[in-house]
Amino acid sequence: MRVGAVVFWVAVAVLLVPALGVTFARAVEPQRSFWLLVEGFTPVGVVLYGLVVLLLAVRLVVVRRWWTWALAAVALAGLLVHCWWFAPQVSGANPPPAAGAEPMVVMTSNIAHGAGDATALVRLAESERADVLVVEEITAADLAEMDAAGLADLLPHRVGTPEPDSDGTMVFALERLGPAEALATTHGGWVVALGDLTLVATHPQAPTVPEDWRADHAVLLATVEADHPDLVVGDLNATSDHAPMRALADAGYRDVGELADQGWQPTWPAQGSWSLGLPTPPLAQIDHVLVGPRLAAIGMHTVDVPGSDHRAVVALVARK
């Protein structure tokens, strides 16, 4: 076999093997943490299969072998399946807000156990004109730095406290917050009244501990089904492809960006904080603002928080 052919088939294998792995993870959903993590990268399959189809199409122009046709058929099938899974991110009905409804900016950021720049986060919340800010993994030092940067003036009402193990989740709001109920999840969270709306601030366990991840998401789903909140906000440690997120969607809670047909906006791992030999760009959208039936999704975007391994999510919503 000539060197060119060897290089070609190595390139096909480098693309096709991980693509098949992602498809397997999404379709079968094995219980091990490795496959749950792989499943989070399901949208990447569109790119991988697309490149394989392109390479094989070029190859078939020159050399037509049955195995090339077979691989091309497999890659095309994979591409179509992943496009079908991805389609809700960029298509679908999105009921508009009510005429004259006042938009509300909801923001969430995992500040990464003190690694994130707390002052920069306050400046971002100010520039984005946030009405609500949910912060995960906030430490006492982070809170002190945020208050020194003027957070108490910007968003004067708050729920939650930093935790000694940096698992604290806090809610900051422009509007007065009502009574809060703690969520019985690994990293804590809150169900809190925001005027006549109900907000769930949450941070389930990462899928690196599958049993706790499933248990935390079961608590979250039960809370949503019992309390019917208007917003579910935080680092959910799950993408729209994971079963717990699909269960929340079935219950009527979908990501603002998905509803607004604005496509895949990955939030982790930011700033090359997770590496495969080279700095890796964000590939999984695990931070979310979900809306319930009473709110319309206007749009969302992500912003960098210096030092954090998560991009922050900024969502614009309004009443229907």
> What would the pLDDT profile of 124-133 be if each residue is shown by its tens digit?
999 999 999 9
Closest C-alpha among 115, 143, 106, 108 to residue 306: 115
In a domain, 42, yes or no: yes
Residues 45 and 145 in one domain: no
**Does 277 have pLDDT greater than 60?**
no
**Does 45 have pLDDT greater than 90?**
yes
Cβ–Cβ under 8 Å, residues 262 and 299: yes
Strand partners, 293: none
Residues 14 and 154 in one domain: no
Residues 119 and 216 in one domain: yes
Cis peptide bond N-terminal to 207, omega within 30? no
Average pLDDT value over all residues in the chain: 94
Residues 150 and 290 in one domain: yes
Q: What is the mean pLDDT of residues 32-55?
A: 97
Residues 240 and 265 in one domain: yes
- pLDDT for 263: 85
**Does 275 have pLDDT greater than 90?**
no
Residues 83 and 114 in one domain: no
Residues 172 and 277 in one domain: yes
Cβ–Cβ under 8 Å, residues 212 and 193: no
pLDDT in tens, 201-245: 999 999 999 999 999 999 999 999 999 999 999 999 999 999 999
List the domain range (segments joined by +) for residue 39: 3-89
In a domain, 202, yes or no: yes
Cα–Cα distance between 165 and 187 in angstroms, integer? 10
CATH code for position 282: 3.60.10.10
In a domain, 95, yes or no: no
**Does 281 have pLDDT greater than 70?**
yes
Residues 133 and 279 in one domain: yes
Worst-scoring range by mean pLDDT, 249-258, 264-273, 288-297?
Answer: 264-273
In a domain, 241, yes or no: yes
In a domain, 94, yes or no: no
Question: Considering 42, 57, 89, which residue would you say is the last residue of a domain?
Answer: 89
In a domain, 194, yes or no: yes
**Does 122 have pLDDT greater than 70?**
yes
Cβ–Cβ under 8 Å, residues 121 and 109: yes
In a domain, 96, yes or no: no
In a domain, 97, yes or no: no
Closest C-alpha among 216, 260, 209, 218 to residue 235: 216
Residues 167 and 291 in one domain: yes
Residues 140 and 266 in one domain: yes
Residues 7 and 129 in one domain: no
Residues 16 and 58 in one domain: yes
Question: Considering 58, 89, 120, which residue would you say is the last residue of a domain?
Answer: 89
- Of 48 and 281, the one with more pLDDT: 48
- pLDDT for 166: 61
**Does 272 have pLDDT greater than 90?**
no
Counted domains in the chain: 2
Question: Considering 89, 113, 129, which residue would you say is the last residue of a domain?
Answer: 89
- pLDDT for 280: 74
Considering Cα of 280, then 283, then 285, then 286, what sign does the dihedral take?
negative
Worst-scoring range by mean pLDDT, 105-114, 186-195, 267-276?
Answer: 267-276
